[in-house]
Amino acid sequence: MAALMLLIFGCAPNSGKNKSEKKVLSKNIEYDVSINNYWMISQSAFEASNESWYVGNIETSSRKAFQELLFKNALSGKLNLTDLNNKSIDTNKLKDLISFTDTVTMTRLIPPFNNYDTLIKKMVPESWVTGLRFRENWSYDPNTMAITKKVIAMAPLVSIVHYDNDGKETIEESKALFWIIFPEKTKPATVLTKRIVSDLIFHHTFFSKDINVDSVAMDAYIQKFMNLVYSDSLKAYACGCGASDFSDVPVSGKELKERLCGTDTIAYATPQHKHGSYDTIIKHDVPISMIRFLEEWTFDPATMAIDKKVVGICPVEICYDEIGEVKGNRPIFWVYFSDVWMPFGGKLELKKAEK
C-alpha cells in the first residue's frame, strides 16, 4: 500500500510539466476589424467576390441579427457602456452618441415654391456598423505558438452614408461610437462566424493606424515562430491562389528558408590601408510587419461579449517599390492551430508532407 501511495502521489508533481505556461504577447491592444467587406467586393471581379466572402466579413444573416441585438441591448441599459474617453454613460447619453444631423433640401408648399435647407436629426441605422474595435490581451503557448486573444471590450464602428440631390452615395471614414465593457465571467457560446480573416500591422507605417501593441514582443514572437517553421517543428502550408485562401499543401521549412532567407556580400574599405578593402556577408530574413488571422467567433447574446478562437496565422510581408511606396503585400504561408472550418460542416483536409 505504501508503495502504491508513493507511486500515485510521487508522480503527481510531474503531471503538469508538459503544460507550458502562456507568455504575454501584448496587453490592452486596440485595433479595428471589418465585419462588412462592401469596400472590397465593390472593387472585385465577379469570381473574386465569391471567393473572398470571409475576408473582413461576417455572413449577412448573422451580421444583421448581431447588429440589431447590439443596439437593442445597448439602448435597454443592460450593458456596461463608456464613451471613447472611458467615462460611463447612460441611455440618454448613448442616444446622443448614436445620432447625427443631416442637411435635407426641401421645397416650400406655397409660392414662390423656393427651396430651403433644413437639419434633420437621425439615429445611426444598425446596418451602418461595418466594423468592430477590440481591446484585448494577447498571450501565446511557447510550444505550439498558438495565440490566445482575451477580448476585454468592443466598440462598434459606423460608416455614415450621405446622398446628394442626384442620389450619389458618399461614405465617411468609419468611427467608433462607444465602448461595451465585457464582464469577467461570461459565456460566449453562440456562434457568430466560423470563419473570418483579418489583418493586423504591428509596425507603424505611414498608411496604417497607430495601435497600442508591444512591437518588441511581437518581433520576438515572429522570430521564434519563423525559426520553428524553418526547423519543421511547426507545420506550414502554402497560401492558396487568393490573398487569403487556404491551402492543404504542406511546405517544408528548408524550402521556405531557402526562399525567404538570403545573404548579401558587402565590400568595406579597411582604415589601415588606403586602397584596401574586405568583404563581409550579411544574412537577412524576410521582414514581417503584418499578421493575417483566421478566427472563429462566438458571443454571449446577453452581454455581447465576444470570444475569439485563433485557428491559424499567416505572416505577411509588406512590399515596397524603389521609392518606398507600398506596392501591396505578400502572404507567405499558413500555420493552423486547429481544424479549418469549411462550408456545410466540413473541414480542410491537410495533406501530409512528402518524405
State residue 270's pLDDT score.
63
Inside any domain, residue 114: yes
- Residue 249 in contact with residue 238, Cβ under 8 Å? yes
Residues in the chain: 355
327 assigned to some structural domain: yes
Digits of tens for pLDDT over the chain (355 positions)?
Answer: 444 444 444 444 444 445 678 999 999 999 999 999 876 655 555 555 556 778 899 999 999 999 999 999 999 999 999 999 999 999 999 999 888 777 777 788 888 888 877 777 778 889 999 999 999 999 999 999 999 999 999 999 998 776 666 667 667 778 999 999 999 988 899 999 999 999 999 887 766 666 778 889 999 999 999 999 999 999 999 987 554 478 889 999 999 998 888 655 555 566 665 556 666 655 667 889 899 999 999 999 999 999 999 999 999 998 878 777 778 888 999 999 999 888 887 888 888 776 5
Note whether residue 1 is domain-resident. no
The domain total for the chain is 1
Determine, yes or no, domain membership for 148. Answer: yes
Asked if residues 296 and 195 have their Cβ atoms less than 8 Å apart, the reply is: yes
Q: What is the pLDDT of residue 280?
A: 64
Asked whether residue 317 is assigned to any structural domain, the reply reads yes
Does the residue 347 lie in any domain?
Answer: no
pTM for the whole structure: 0.81
175 belongs to a structural domain: yes
- Range(s) of the domain holding residue 231: 29-340
Q: Note the pLDDT of residue 282.
A: 57
Distance CA 38, CA 130 (A): 9
Is residue 37 within 8 A of residue 131, CB to CB? The reply is: no
pLDDT at 326: 77
Nearest to 235 by CA among 308, 323, 333: 333
* Residue 154 falls inside a structural domain: yes
- Cell 505611414, residue? 206
pLDDT, position 124: 87
